[in-house]
Amino acid sequence: MSFSILIVDDEPDVAEMFRQRFRREARQGTYVLHFAASGEEALDKLANGVRPELIVILSDINMPGMDGLSLLREIKTQRPDLPVMMVTAYGDEDRRRQAEEAGALQFLSKPVDFDLLKEELRRLPGASA
Amino acid sequence: MASLGQLTAGIAHEIKNPLNFVNNFAGLSVELLDELKETAAPAVASLGEDTRAEIDEIVGMLTGNLEKIAEHGRRADGIVKSMLAHSRGGSGDWQSTDINALVEEALNLAYHGARAQDQNFNITLERDFDRNIAPIELVPQDVTRVFLNLFGNGFYAADRRRHEVDDAFRPTLNVTTRDLEGEVEIRVRDNGTGIPPELRDKLFQPFFTTKPTGEGTGLGLSISYDIVTQQHGGTIKADSVFGEFTEFTIRLPRSRRAATAGMT
């Protein structure tokens, strides 16, 4: 069974980093990674449908245009059940609280601890199905 | 000075992101190289001895280089974190505090910290506390940082003098507290290497350090300066005779109101 993960970040090298960190999982077909460079692009991808089944969105907070928190709120109105994890270099309490209130499943700080992230992914309700 | 704090935080944040990439990709490359070694092992085994030795050598050097990148990246990350802490002043809680108890606690913490780092380290601690000091309003968390910095520096200087000058030398750190009218005074004196006169002006400058590369960030005293003067409206002064002693004198106003008034 294969699942999709959508990663939203305006830094292009984030995509390369995730591709390399998830090389094994991608080769085994556990996860298919999708990338969006902005909140707007992420919503477009969502609207067009992501295949295979999307089980989580990981989003940066500081992005030009629509920022991560606005994206989170928008996703939560469209797809309340879709888990969203916020990933940010600015791990301050205020943003953490805002993300929690808006329904984020997790608040991860950069640099991302990939072992921890993979652990979290295995625990997602969709992934165990 | 407030704008310097903001600038520092801004720079630190801007550096943190690319630095995360450097550290992350360095770590990744070490893993990829391991995988490459595994994957290529059967093919490499069929090669001549000289070629094999050369491949091993190059892979070994590449791994070493990547580990160096990761190591220095972590070092830079430590500096960035100190810079961020530097600019974060003013976030702690103001509390009515027994200054002697705060000094004592920091002294123990610094002493055991230094002993944990270097088992051979030792120093005589002398306390001359004014037992009649009424509680004073301050941010204990931040003032503790100041004490830890000053004690740590004192330990370092005294220990260095023992190493450099002579083994019979007895490193000593003396801490004095006094109740002055409207102010509390804390003196921290070590009998270490002292500060050369030409460096006196640079003491509180951010990133100024006399420690070997990698050992000090040069932010300790500049953070302390900000905490004492900006945040608490107090003063911090250094007195030193090169080769004999260094003494820092901190004066903190009694109440927070005085501190805020002092800032304008």
Amino acid occupying residue A26 = A
> Across the interface, do A17 and B17 touch by the CB < 8 Å criterion?
no
User: Would you call A21 an interface residue with chain B, using a CB distance cutoff of 8 Å?
Assistant: yes
- Kindly list the residues from chain A whose CB atom is less than 8 angstroms away from the CB atom of residue B17: 11, 89, 110
Q: What is the pLDDT of residue B260?
A: 53
Length of chain B equals 264
> Across the interface, do A20 and B23 touch by the CB < 8 Å criterion?
no
The residue of B11, B28, B81 whose CB has the most chain A CBs within 10 angstroms, and thus the best one to mutate to test that interface, is B28
The residue in chain B having the minimum alpha-carbon distance to the alpha carbon of residue A60 is: B17
Can you tell me the distance from the alpha carbon of B107 to that of B97, in angstroms, rounded to the nearest whole number? Answer: 16
Are residues A52 and A64 in contact, defined by beta-carbon separation less than 8 angstroms? no
Average pLDDT, chain B: 87
Maximum Cα–Cα distance for chain A, whole Å?
39
pTM for this one?
0.62
User: Would you call A66 an interface residue with chain B, using a CB distance cutoff of 8 Å?
Assistant: no
Domain ranges of chain A: 3-123
User: Would you call B199 an interface residue with chain A, using a CB distance cutoff of 8 Å?
Assistant: no
- Kindly list the residues from chain A whose CB atom is less than 8 angstroms away from the CB atom of residue B32: 20
> Tens digit of pLDDT for each residue in B159-218?
988 888 777 889 999 999 999 988 999 999 999 999 998 888 888 888 888 888 767 778
Q: What is the pLDDT of residue B231?
A: 87
Burial of A104 (0-12, 13-18, 19+ CB in 10 A): buried
Are residues A57 and A6 in contact, defined by beta-carbon separation less than 8 angstroms? yes
- Kindly list the residues from chain A whose CB atom is less than 8 angstroms away from the CB atom of residue B13: 89-90
Please check the confidence at residue B2 and state whether its pLDDT lies above 60.
no
- As a dihedral over the C-alpha atoms of residue B150, residue B151, residue B153, residue B159, rounded to 10 degrees, the angle is 160
Q: Which residue from A38, A60, A66, A67 is spatially nearest to A107, judged by alpha carbons?
A: A60
Q: If you average pLDDT over residues B10-35, what whole number do you get?
A: 88
> Tens digit of pLDDT for each residue in B62-88?
999 999 998 899 888 888 877 776 666
What's B232's DSSP letter? T
Are residues B233 and B184 in contact, defined by beta-carbon separation less than 8 angstroms? no
**Sequence-ordered list of residues with C-beta below 8 angstroms from that of B84, at least 6 positions apart, any chain:** B8, B9, B12, B13, B16
> Tens digit of pLDDT for each residue in A75-128?
999 999 999 999 987 777 888 999 999 999 999 988 888 999 999 999 887 665
Can you tell me the distance from the alpha carbon of A48 to that of A45, in angstroms, rounded to the nearest whole number? Answer: 5
Q: What is the pLDDT of residue B264?
A: 37
Domain at A3-123, CATH homologous superfamily:
Response regulator (3.40.50.2300)
User: Would you call B20 an interface residue with chain A, using a CB distance cutoff of 8 Å?
Assistant: yes
Instruction: Work out whether strand A31-36 and strand A84-88 pair parallel, antiparallel, or are unpaired.
Output: unpaired
Please check the confidence at residue B141 and state whether its pLDDT lies above 90.
no
> Across the interface, do A17 and B13 touch by the CB < 8 Å criterion?
no
Q: Min CA distance, B20 vs chain A (Å)?
A: 6
The residue of A9, A18, A21, A93 whose CB has the most chain B CBs within 10 angstroms, and thus the best one to mutate to test that interface, is A21
In the block, tokens 């943190």 appear at B16
Burial of B173 (0-12, 13-18, 19+ CB in 10 A): buried
> Tens digit of pLDDT for each residue in B243-252?
899 999 999 9
> Tens digit of pLDDT for each residue in B89-139?
556 788 899 999 999 999 998 998 888 888 888 899 999 999 999 999 999
Radius of gyration of chain B measured on its C-alpha atoms: 24
> Across the interface, do A90 and B17 touch by the CB < 8 Å criterion?
no
